[in-house]
A and B are shown apart, each in its own frame.
Chain A
Amino acid sequence: MTSPQPRPPDVTVVVIVYNDAARIETAVRSVLNQSLRSHEVIVCDDHSTDGTQAVVERLVAEHPDVVRYIRLEANSGHCGAPRNRGVAAARGRFIMFLDSDDTLDQHACRNMVSMAEQSHADMVIGRCVRHDVATGKETSWMPWLVQRKVVYESLHDQPELLYDVLSTNKLYRHDFLTRENLVFLEDRLYEDNLFSAHAYLAAKKIAIIPQRIYTWNIERKAANLSITRRAADIRNITDRIIVTRKIDDLLTKHDAGDLRLQKDIRFIENDLRVHLARLGTLPEENQRALVDAARPYLETLQPEAFLQAKPLPAMAAYLARQGDYHGVATVHDYMVGKPFQPHLTADLVVHDGRVYWSDRHLDDEVGRAVLDVTELGLQDRPLSKLRLGSRIDSVHRDGDSVTIAGSFVNPLGRITVESAPKAQLVFAERRSKRRVFKARAQLVVDEQRVGWTVTFEPEKLLRPVGLIDPNYSVRLHLAVGTDSADLALFAEDEVTEALRLPARPKLTRLTADLLQGYRTDSGNVALRLDADGSAAKLGTAAISGVRNTSIGSRAWERAAELQSSLRQRRNKRATKLSWYENVFLKMPVKKGTVVFESHMGKQFSDSPRAIYEEMERQGIKFTPIWVYATHPTGFPSDAKLVKRNSWAYLQALGQAEFWIDNQGFPHDLRKRPETTYIQTWHGSAFKKMGFDEATIKAQTEQSQQRLQRAIDRFDVFLVRSEHDVRTLTQGMRVGAELLRVGYPRNDALVNGGNEAEVAKLRKSLGLTDGRKVVLYAPTFRPEEVNRKSGLELPFDLDEFVHRFGDDAVLLVRPHYLVSFALPPAYGHSVRNVANVHDVTPLMQISDALITDYSSLMFDYSLLNRPMIFHVPDYDDYVGSSRGSYFDLGSIAPGPLTRTSEDLIAALSDLDGNAEAYAGKRREFVAQYGEFDTGQAAKAVVDRFFRSGARRG
């Protein structure tokens, strides 16, 4: 018996449960522990048949004034009915919802109620955090919606709220629910969507707080998947569409037709995407049935929704509308998210100079717009960034040898017989990658597809250790010229099953005698050690027998835990740093080792490369080590290559006699006194640098000191002019000896001498006719780095092609951290040279330069060729806080253009430019490049590396 409370509680939390005896108590306790004590809990049980009732009744007995239990007379199968029952019984002024497998943050109620009272909002929204139970990893749900405390007058102020369809991370005024008759749908899934859309539309005010409110526990491999996780079946998508249609009716009813587009886009980007995910892995009849279930509704969407939604989901939705389920599958193969392995399976086409996802539907205007994927840049990205993956078509066994055959798409026919592609199948131990076995593949290339076959004798090739290396990955390594990629492999179940490779473990065949194909969590094919013969079966049975004893399993777990924690600790920066400090720096210096790094390992280029090549030319005995950032492609094969920040890298730096780089080795790595650091730097300064930059001026003392310490590691610093001495080295507070020898990379600009490389570059860019070459190389703008569209040209490319296309070729060179996508339509007269490592030969082959504020201007002026400064954002850029060391307008050795028309006009008179600015170019070189006399590399090598030379 409980007596009625004199005052209603602030909050009623309605907890719904169905057969969840294991977790319901945790959920209820997360409410009982609320810092706001004025609350009640109503547990609504959808007629559980496990021990749920007993657990809840115990909680009721413990807290009779706070916890109530309502049991539905029959199972409803959905979340709607129990929530409605809970609301009907609620006494609180505010209502929140909680699912039995989730929890509330300790301060959820207080934060929500306090915001509701301050703002007088009908509903308050807080942060929901998805918690992966297996890994403990947490991610915010739609974090951009809950960045800061804010109050919206209505949904129109923030239509993106429609993306957050959960009903749980929210607080509702009880009288608001009553007033608007807000109830959950009882016979469908996705009742949340409809309820929250209705609430958003009806609410007088909606308040947001950034605090964490709700923990949504995700159990990926639970046998009993919660109701909303069982996607993929037809009923789900049908329910989703029924609910979505009801939302459309609500929008009309609430006079919010203008939000329909927003909602349609959300439907395309989120809802439909979930239902059609991994479509390609389903049997064909299921694919068709799913797509057909979505079609009628998709046909009611406005074309604008397909055009405005994110490109990949929009393609999937459009293709579904067209009933092209094969096309839908290819889009999902490509955009699938973690943990799955994406891969390109679409037959891309070029049509009218643009790249399209498929050759179908291009007669439809909307189709052309939606399927245009030119901006993805697949036409000139390196192969490794195309998400290539291959099918395994068949596996044949013939005596001791096995033949595996497969095929993959040839992206836009980029792989040609002439480019001499090579491939091999690579088996690698999955965890340490220490054991690797390779088998050469035969390739058959046609314009659409590339086929491959590998024939080998598994027992000879595959020699795993046994026991300690249970899993092997298998990939196809493809190399085309200097470009390469590792393709994940995919196969149907029968083929994966047939992938049985006899193996001879080094330990003994008692541990295993077979590598068996299986499908990983990521969806691609891998191999695991297995037992086939009777000896192996007996052996593995014995081993698992030991492992199944309690001591054995504990020992096994401990060993596995130890191994994984060691691996984690090994990869920590602090561990690496401590080894660097205490071990590598204390090991002896290796005489003659030189570590070269250019632009943080992104390129084999610039002055470090020029010095390296000069040393080779002079036949100096030394041990070169080159650093690469992500991929060793394009780096010299005769040098030792180390990956930036790897263990090998730290050891190389710790023991090197010389460091040579043009930007900066990681700031936290101390340099030992015995090592000489030659800092070549990478450009003279127009923009303010170092401690002259506003962002660095504003830094704390510690940050500034860290930077200063990094700069103090330099032993010598190369300069091109006294201008560098006055500006760059002052701004950076360089205390090192200044070497007034110019930049080694610029020797070639003064002397030539790398004709072979230049000729090869011309050929690879197809610059074989007599047309002029114009290089466009703008400066770095931070906002472009993570922008999907990358570099956007500040002039009219059509106009350029139209006016000069027959006489000139434009090379577009974005900064090395920025991407650029060039439509194939311009292929005749424009080239994307983003992937050329070194910019120097690019300058050499161009007859004129267009730039803005890039330090390239200083180097290019050495060539004494026409230059144009295209600066539409001059006032903004120079006038802003960045600031500059001189007035570009009065000193530039070429015209400044502000509009596309001005630029075109300037380009039409390059000969006049050459003549008119000859004097200014000479002055410019004298002022800013006086030491660049073509002897820089030699001077550096003479000083530090010739025998008997004085050491720095």
Chain B
Amino acid sequence: MAETRDIFIICNSVNELGGLTQWVHDISRLFTARGHRVRLIGVEPATDYRDFGSDLPYPTFTLHEDHLPRRRKATGAALLNPGRSLMLRKRQQIFEGGVRRLNELLRTAESPGAVVIASQVWAGEWVAAADTTGMQVIGMSHESFEACRNSSRYNRVLKFYGGMDIHLSLTDADADAWARAGMSNVGAMPNPLMTVPKTLPTLDEKTVVTLRRLSHDKGIDMLIEAWAQVGPQHPDWRLKIFGAGPDEQALRTQARSLGLDDTALFQGKTSDIDGALSSASVYALPSREEGFPIAVMEAMAYGLPTVAFDCAPGIRELIDDEVSGGLVVTPGNVSGFAIGLNRLIEDRELRVRLGSAGRESVQRFSPDSIVDRWESLFALLDR
């Protein structure tokens, strides 16, 4: 039994809807189960609220009762606007108050060797400003290097994570990319696989499924375009898209203009992931940007073969193209995506082979092995 530690996990909000917050609660639960004393700390209240239950085995805190005023980028004359500098000063005061509350929480650590984990870049600003003397400070970017570089987070990662003990990416390939970009305090830590399938799909259902937020980065438009090439050849097969989002109307219009029946396509939001996955035979992941997609891990746990664009190193870390987990297609190659779907639709053998190999390979990310990796990381940082 390794020594137990105080672990502070800081995220943007402890009950925000979305994959990241799910991960935060998963990992907190796993650490707690190993005897570590976890405190889960959110910076501000959720925007899109989700209930993660009331009987959590670890305490949760929120640094700010209200949402922080957002900083907007200004150029030219707007920089001189007195209202803006006033707002910035106000925000700075609020921020400092939050950092003080964080410091109070950090002082509750019971033993040396405490760990502070900034699970998101925004929350990392509070961690970087807090007094973490004598503690291990870990920053995490839950997205691919490429996706981060295309966003405003890139410079903040360099700024706030550069001075931390270690900055964890989701895969070795992403960590290498950060190292090439000049960060030397980098390492990799994959997400744990939390899914335990209740019912396994028979792979005979004539359904292709995806569970996605309907937004540009998730690439549903490309899936619909590909389906327009596949669907007509297989009228007995159906594509089911579970989820909601800002692009829903545009996507429905696109589907109709391609001659697809949008009511059959769009299934709306569901909480029954088990039902959705166990009644399908192929999973589609048409994303433009990803980190280490939980969706693919889940599909693999269910033995569903996936067709995915090669949009992040995390994809290939999970799916070994043509060997286990599914097929990987060059980003944006919609015809290639259609060909991949077609092959899986027409070849049950292939579905079974890739699906079951995927089910086996995804066990690498079992909760136990991931928590072991975390604990040896803590030990390394202690040396």
Contact = CB atoms under 8 A, between A and B. Distances in A.
A210 interface: yes
Given A113-B383, A148-B173, 4 more contacts: A36-B383, A106-B185, A697-B332, A698-B311
Contacts of B309: 698
Nearest to B165: A35
Nearest to A703: B150
B180 interface: yes
Interface in A497-521: none
A211 B176 CA distance: 7
Contacts of B330: 694, 881
A697 B334 contact: yes
Contacts of B381: 35
Ranked nearest first, the 5 interchain pairs of A and B with the lowest CB-CB distance are A698-B332, A694-B332, A698-B331, A881-B333, A697-B332
Contact of A693 (B172, B179, B332): B332
A208 to B, nearest CB: 10
Contacts of B336: 881
Interface string A35-66: 11110000000000000000000000000000
A702 interface: yes
14 contacts: A10-B383, A35-B185, A37-B383, A210-B176, A211-B184, A694-B332, A694-B333, A695-B331, A696-B332, A697-B331, A697-B332, A700-B150, A701-B216, A704-B216
A590 interface: no
Contacts of A212: 179, 182, 184
Interface residues of B, number: 31
Interface in A124-179: 127, 143, 147-149
Nearest to B289: A700
B334 A694 contact: yes
Contacts of A699: 288, 332
B179 A209 contact: yes
B116 to A, nearest CB: 15
Nearest to B336: A881
B12 to A, nearest CB: 21
Nearest to A697: B332
B368 interface: no
Contacts of A114: 380
Interface in B160-215: 165, 172-173, 175-176, 179-180, 182, 184-186
B217 interface: yes
A210 B335 CA distance: 36
Contacts of A10: 383
Given A582-B76, A881-B332, A697 B222 contact: yes
A37 B288 CA distance: 42
Interface string A1-31: 0000000001000000000000000000000
B133 interface: no
A578 B222 CA distance: 37
B54 interface: no
Nearest to B216: A701
B217 A701 contact: yes
B108 interface: no
B76 A581 contact: yes
Bin chain A's interface residue count: 35 or more
A105 B289 contact: no
Interface in B139-172: 150, 165, 172
B47 interface: no
Contacts of B271: none
B288 A210 contact: no
Main SS class of interface, A: mixed
A540 B68 CA distance: 62
Interface string B288-299: 110000000000
Contact of A211 (B165, B179, B334, B335): B179
A695 B309 CA distance: 12
B335 A38 contact: no
* Most chain B CB atoms below 10 A, which of A37, A105, A113, A881: A881
* Most chain A CB atoms below 10 A, which of B180, B184, B186, B380: B184
A105 B173 CA distance: 21
Contacts of B180: 143, 147, 210
A298 to B, nearest CB: 37
* Most chain B CB atoms below 10 A, which of A108, A211, A701: A211
Nearest to A692: B334
B75 A578 contact: yes
Interface in A699-754: 699-704
Interface string A588-626: 000000000000000000000000000000000000000
A500 B304 CA distance: 83
B383 A38 contact: yes
A883 interface: yes
B44 to A, nearest CB: 25
B171 to A, nearest CB: 11
B184 A107 contact: yes
A125 to B, nearest CB: 13
Contacts of B76: 578, 581-582
Nearest to B309: A698
* Most chain B CB atoms below 10 A, which of A147, A695, A701: A701
Nearest to B146: A700
Contacts of A111: 184
A700 B288 contact: yes
A883 B180 CA distance: 33
A38 B382 CA distance: 10
Nearest to A212: B184
Contacts of B333: 694, 881
* Most chain A CB atoms below 10 A, which of B76, B165, B180, B331: B180
A700 B184 contact: no
Contacts of B334: 694, 697
B216 A700 contact: yes
A110 interface: yes
Nearest to B175: A149
A212 B288 CA distance: 30
A105 B222 CA distance: 44
A694 B334 CA distance: 7
Contacts of A883: 335
Contacts of A105: 184
Nearest to B335: A883
Interface in B320-346: 330-336
A774 B25 CA distance: 70
Interface string A671-711: 00000000000000000000001111111111110000000
A578 B217 CA distance: 30
A881 B150 CA distance: 23
Interface in B339-383: 380-381, 383
B185 A148 contact: no
B185 A107 contact: yes
A881 B289 CA distance: 19
B94 to A, nearest CB: 29
A593 to B, nearest CB: 26
Contacts of A698: 288, 309, 311, 331-332
Given A697-B222, A697-B334, A700-B217, A106 B311 contact: no
A699 to B, nearest CB: 7
Interface string B51-68: 000000000000000000
B150 A148 contact: no
A164 B146 CA distance: 29
A696 B75 CA distance: 29
A114 B379 CA distance: 11
Contacts of A582: 76
A108 B184 CA distance: 8
Interface in B19-59: none
A148 B288 contact: no
Contacts of B150: 700, 702-703
B332 A695 contact: yes
B343 to A, nearest CB: 15
B216 A881 contact: no
Contacts of B332: 693-699, 881
Nearest to A113: B383
A148 B217 contact: no
Contacts of A36: 383
